[in-house]
Structures are given as structure tokens and as C-alpha cells.
Amino acid sequence: MAVYEHPAGGFREQTWTMLDAVARTQSPFTFRATTFVWPGERLGCVISLPSLAKEKGQEWEAFFSKLGGGDSFHLGPSEFMETSANNLGIPLTAGLTIGEQVLSEGWTPNVVGAIKAGQWVSIGGRLRRVLNTVDTSPTGTATLRVWPKIGSVSAGTEIVYRNPKGRFVLTEGAPTLTWLVNRRLSEFTFTAQEDDFDHA
């Protein structure tokens, strides 16, 4: 299926949700609780846009029309969120990667705080939240901990730290779009979640 780019700019708000497959049961007799943790982890996002001028509003109409068949689109942290401005090399995974820990190489050597805890990267086509502040070694290696955990990516997969994006699908279909008498598109909100395209 096709993967599209949304129209540039214009987000008013972007709310991220971290979805974990966790369930909790409690005995009505002893009140003893049991927690079940499964491997499922996924990002969700709610995006709000302000009223838009005619040309930009028509771009968004066309975008939602293209997604009508369930196609996905690229989405990343919006432009007002802090991103890395440093030249940190071309980092790659340093072996088959499964789980939370990512061994990597190809970073600019000896950078303290190259990636900060909470920063986004993209690995294997999915957005990942970095859980630890990362320093690079004299040989350009580094170890990251990420969420969501990685299903499986091969050695040599690029770690994108500039403008990282993942693949998302609409969760409630296209939003209702209302045109005002002044030829502006009224403000609107839509929801999306990660497209589970390859279990990466």
C-alpha cells in the first residue's frame, strides 16, 4: 500500500500516547492483583490544526482523500519540538537488534549527550523514544535504550535522528472538514496510530 506525506506545517497541537499491551486483574476475595504484560507496544497521536487558508485547506482535503483506502502516511514530532542540531555522523545498528537495547556504530566520536533521554529517533521505519542520555565512545559506538521495543531489525539499519518519522494510519477515518463563509477551512482534529507494517 502507498505511504504519503502530509501537507507541510500548520499543526497547532500534537498529543502522543504510549500504548502498552498490559492487563491487570484483581481477586474479589483476596484483593490480590495480577499484572499481565504482553509484547505489544505502539504509538498513538492526536493532531489539531487551526483554521486554514483556502489553498492549504484544499491540500489537507486532498491528503485525506488519498488515505481513503487505508493507506498510511509519515508522521513525526512537530517542528516546535526540540530536535538534534549536531552533526552526529551516520549511525547504524551494530548487529541484529531485538528488544529495548540498541547497539550502534557510526556516530561522531566523543560526543557527550549526543542524544538526550526523551528524544525521538527512527529505526526500521518506526519512531522510537530514547530512554537514556547517550554519549558516544572514542570509536563512535553507543548504546541506546528505546521504546517501543524493536521486534527485529538487521545490522546496518540507519538510526535517523534528524526529522525522524514513522508510518501511521488514521484510527477514526478522515475528520469532518467544514468550510467557512470567509473561504477558510475551520479548525479540525484527527487521530492516528502506528501502522504495524512489519513488526520492526
Placement of cell 502506528 in the chain: 194
Give buried/exposed letters for 99-128 (b at 16+ CB in 10 A, else e): eeebebbbbeeebeebbeeebbbbbbbbbb
* Tens of pLDDT, residues 141-184: 999 999 999 989 999 999 999 889 999 999 998 999 999 999 99
pLDDT band at 79 (very low <50, low <70, confident <90, very high): low
**β-sheet bridge partners, residue 188:** 49
Dist. CA 78–CA 15, nearest whole Å: 10
**Predicted confidence band at 73 (pLDDT cuts at 50, 70, 90)?**
very high
pLDDT in tens, 122-146: 999 999 999 999 999 999 999 999 9
Dist. CA 161–CA 122, nearest whole Å: 7
pLDDT at residue 82 in the model: 53
Q: Return the closest-CA partner of residue 174 out of 66, 36, 75, 77.
A: 66
Q: What is this structure's pTM?
A: 0.85
Q: What does the pLDDT read at residue 39?
A: 78
Residue among 15, 19, 56, 61 nearest 39 (CA): 19
Closest C-alpha among 174, 164, 170 to residue 194: 170
Q: What is the 3-state secondary structure (H, E, C) of the chain?
A: CCEEECCCCCCCEEEEEEEEEEEEEECCCCCCEEEEEEEEEEEEEEEEECCECHHHHHHHHHHHHHHHHCCEEEECCCCCCCCCCCCCEEEEECCCEEEEEEEEEEECCCCCCCECCCCEEEECCEEEEECCCECCCCCCCEEEEEEEEEEEECCCCEEECCCCCEEEEECCCCCCCCECCCCCECCEEEEEEECCCCCC
Which domains are assigned to the chain? 1-76+165-200 (3.30.200.190), 84-164 (2.40.30.290)
CA dist 27 and 50 (Å) reads: 48
